[in-house]
C-alpha cells in the first residue's frame, strides 16, 4: 500500500491509486483452439500501476466446446509475457463455460499487460472458444 505522511494533502490521483476497481475485455470473435497455445484475440488488458507490489485478481472465463473427449482444453493467463501458474481445464463434448481465478503481484509500478491464452493437449478434437462469454476481468487497486 501507499504510505501517506501526516499532514499530506491527498490528490485525486493518490486516492485513485488505492481505490479498488476492475476492467474487463471480451473475445473479439470465435476462435479455433490449436495445440499451440495462442492469445485469445481481444482478451487482453493493459493497466498502469503507481504502486510497487500491486496485487490483482484475474478471472478468466472461457466459453468453449469440443467435438470429442479425446482432447483437453487448456486456458492460461500471461502477465507481461510470463505464463502464470494454474490452468483452466475441460474434457467433454458439451458447450461449457470454464472459469479460473489467478492472483498476481505486479512487482513494479508502470504498464502491465494481462491476457488470456488457449491451447489443447493433442490434435484429437476440434475445440472452439466463443465470443459472447469468453472474457478476462482484472480487479485491484487503481484499476478502472
Residue of higher predicted confidence among 7 and 122 = 122
Of 52 and 80, more confident: 80
What residue spans define the domains of the chain?
23-139
Confidence of residue 10 (pLDDT cuts 50, 70, 90): confident
Q: Measuring CA to CA, which residue among 52, 54, 50, 47 is closest to residue 22?
A: 47
For 72-112, give the DSSP string: EEEEEEEETTEEPS--EEEEESS-EEEEEEEEEEE-SSEEE
Please classify residue 31 by burial: count the beta carbons closer than 10 Å to its beta carbon, then call 0-12 exposed, 13-18 middle and 19+ buried.
buried
pLDDT value of position 3:
64
126 by DSSP, 3-state: which? Answer: coil
pLDDT digits (tens, 9 = 90+) for 38-74: 999 999 999 998 888 999 999 999 999 999 998 999 9
pLDDT of residue 62: 98
Selected from 2.40.30.30, 3.40.640.10, 3.40.50.2000, 2.60.120.1340, the CATH number assigned to the domain covering 23-139 reads: 2.60.120.1340
Amino acid at each position: 500500500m501507499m504510505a501517506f505522511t501526516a499532514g499530506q494533502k491527498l490528490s485525486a490521483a493518490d486516492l485513485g491509486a488505492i481505490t479498488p476497481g476492475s476492467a474487463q475485455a471480451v473475445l473479439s470473435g470465435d476462435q479455433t483452439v490449436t495445440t499451440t497455445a495462442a492469445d485469445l484475440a481481444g482478451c487482453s488488458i493493459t493497466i498502469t500501476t503507481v504502486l510497487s507490489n500491486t496485487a490483482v485478481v484475474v478471472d478468466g472465463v472461457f466459453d468453449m466446446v469440443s467435438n470429442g473427449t479425446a482432447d483437453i482444453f487448456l486456458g492460461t493467463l500471461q502477465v507481461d509475457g510470463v505464463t502464470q501458474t494454474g490452468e483452466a481445464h475441460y474434457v467433454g463434448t458439451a458447450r461449457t463455460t470454464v472459469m479460473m481465478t489467478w492472483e498476481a503481484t505486479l512487482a513494479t509500478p508502470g504498464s502491465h499487460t494481462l491476457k488470456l491464452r488457449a491451447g489443447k493437449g493433442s490434435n484429437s478434437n476440434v475445440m472452439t472458444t466463443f465470443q459472447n462469454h469468453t472474457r478476462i476481468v482484472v480487479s485491484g487497486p487503481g484499476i478502472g
